[in-house]
Chains A and B, each alone.
Chain A
Amino acid sequence: MNILTLLVLIPVLTMIAVLFTKDYKGARLASAIGMGIELIATVYLVLAYLAARKTGMMHEMLFTSDFIWYPSLNIHFAFGVDGIAVAMIGLTSIVIFAGIFASWELQYLTKEFFVSLILLVTAVYGFFISLDLFTMFLFYELALIPMYLLIGLWGTGPKEKSAMKLTLMLMAGSALIAVGILGLYYNSAPGGGQLTFNILEISKIKIPVAAQRFFFPFAFVGFGILGALFPFHTWSPDGHASAPTAVSMLHAGVLMKLGGYGCFRVAMFLMPQAAQEMAWIFIILTTISVVYGAFSAIWQNDLKFINAYSSVSHCGLVIFALLMMNQTAMDGAILQMISHGLMTALFFALIGMIYGRTHTRDVREMGGLMKVIPFLAVIYMIAGFASLGLPGLSGFVAEMTVFVGAFQHHDMFHRVVTVIVASSIVITAVYILRVVGLILLGPIKDAHHEHLHDAKWYEKLSTVTLVLSVAAIGIAPLWLSETIIASLKPIVEKLASIL
Chain B
Amino acid sequence: MTGYTYTLFIIMIPLIMFLVTGLLGMKWKPIVSGLLGTTGMGISWVLSLVTAGSYFFGGHHAEGFQTIIPFEMKWLQFTDTLIIKMGILLDPISVMMLVVITTISFMVHLYSIGYMHGETGFARFFAFLSLFTFSMLGLVIAPNIFQMYIFWELVGVSSFLLIGFYYQKPSAVAASKKAFIVTRFADLGFLIGILILSFVTGTFDFAKLTQPGTAIFGSAASMSFLGISAMTWAMTLIFIGGAGKSAMFPLHIWLPDAMEGPTPVSALIHAATMVVAGVFLVARMFPVIHFQAPATQEIIGYVGGFTSLFAAVIAITQYDIKRVLAFSTLSQLGYMMLALGVSGYGGEEGLGYMASMFHLFTHAMFKALLFLGAGSIIHAVHSNYMYDMGGLRKYLPITHMTFLIACLTIAGVPFLSGFYSKDEILVAALEHNKLLFAIEFLVAGLTAFYMFRLYFSVFWGKDRHYHHTPHESPLVMTIPLMFLAVASIFAGYLPFTELVTSDKVGFESHMNFAVAIPSVLIGLFGIGMAWILYKKESDVPAKLAAKFGMLYTATYNKFYFDEIYLFVTKKIIFNYISRPVAWFDRHIIDAFMVGIGLTTEKISYQIKGMQSGQLQHYAFMFVAGTLALALSMIYLLM
Contacts and interface: CB of A to CB of B under 8 A. Distances in A.
A212 interface: no
Contacts of A298: 573-574, 577-578, 582
A433 B177 contact: yes
A429 interface: yes
B590 A404 contact: no
Contacts of A234: 585, 589-590, 593
Interface stretch (A120-128, A269-277, A390-398): A390-398
Contacts of A437: 173-174, 177
Interface stretch (B162-170, B454-462, B605-613): B162-170
Identify the interface centre among A169, A389, A400: most chain B CB within 10 Å of its CB.
Answer: A400
Given A169-B593, A437-B173, A482-B77, A422 B192 contact: yes
A238 B169 CA distance: 34
A408 B192 CA distance: 12
A441 B597 contact: no
A423 B188 contact: yes
B188 A422 contact: yes
A408 B97 CA distance: 33
A165 interface: yes
A370 interface: yes
Interface string A351-383: 000000000000000001011000000000000
Contacts of A412: 225
B79 A478 contact: no
B87 to A, nearest CB: 14
B581 interface: yes
A328 B78 contact: yes
A232 B589 CA distance: 8
Contacts of A433: 177, 180-181
A106 to B, nearest CB: 29
Identify the interface centre among A389, A390, A391, A426: most chain B CB within 10 Å of its CB.
Answer: A391
Interface string A232-262: 1011001000000000000000000000000
B529 interface: no
Identify the interface centre among B79, B198, B225: most chain A CB within 10 Å of its CB.
Answer: B79
Identify the interface centre among A235, A404, A476, A482: most chain B CB within 10 Å of its CB.
Answer: A404
B631 interface: no
B153 A390 contact: yes
Interface in B195-226: 195-196, 198-199, 225
Interface string B367-386: 00000000000000000000
B151 interface: yes
Contact of A165 (B76, B151, B169, B597): B597
Nearest to A232: B593
A390 B585 contact: no
Interface in B548-597: 569, 573-574, 577-579, 581-582, 585, 589-590, 592-594, 597
B31 interface: no
Nearest to B150: A391
Interface string B480-512: 000000000000000000000000000000000
Interface string B33-63: 0000000000000000000000000000000
B181 A429 contact: yes
Contacts of A434: 177
Nearest to A161: B594
Nearest to A332: B78
A139 interface: no
Contact of A371 (B153, B168, B199): B168
B79 to A, nearest CB: 6
A231 interface: yes
Given A397-B76, A481-B77, A441 B164 contact: yes
A404 B167 CA distance: 36
A388 B196 CA distance: 22
Nearest to A169: B593
Nearest to A412: B225
A446 B154 CA distance: 33
B157 interface: yes
A168 interface: yes
A167 to B, nearest CB: 11
Contact of B168 (A368, A385, A408): A368
Contacts of B589: 231, 234
Contacts of A368: 168
Contact of B191 (A169, A425, A478): A425
Contacts of A482: 77
Given A296-B582, A299-B578, A401 B153 contact: no
Contacts of B585: 234, 292, 296
Given A296-B585, A396-B150, A433-B181, A425 B188 contact: yes
B167 A441 contact: yes
Interface string A453-493: 00000000000000000000000111001100100000000
Ordered nearest first, which 7 A-B pairs have the shortest CB separation? Answer: A299-B582, A298-B578, A234-B590, A299-B578, A391-B150, A407-B195, A441-B167
Given A425-B188, A478-B74, A485-B77, 9 more contacts: A238-B590, A298-B574, A368-B168, A401-B76, A403-B191, A423-B188, A426-B181, A430-B569, A443-B170
21 contacts: A165-B594, A231-B589, A234-B585, A234-B590, A299-B574, A299-B578, A300-B582, A328-B82, A385-B157, A391-B153, A396-B150, A400-B146, A404-B78, A404-B82, A415-B199, A419-B195, A422-B195, A425-B191, A429-B180, A429-B184, A440-B167
Interface of B: 74-79, 82, 146, 150-151, 153-154, 157, 164, 167-170, 173-174, 177, 180-181, 184-185, 187-188, 191-192, 195-196, 198-199, 225, 569, 573-574, 577-579, 581-582, 585, 589-590, 592-594, 597
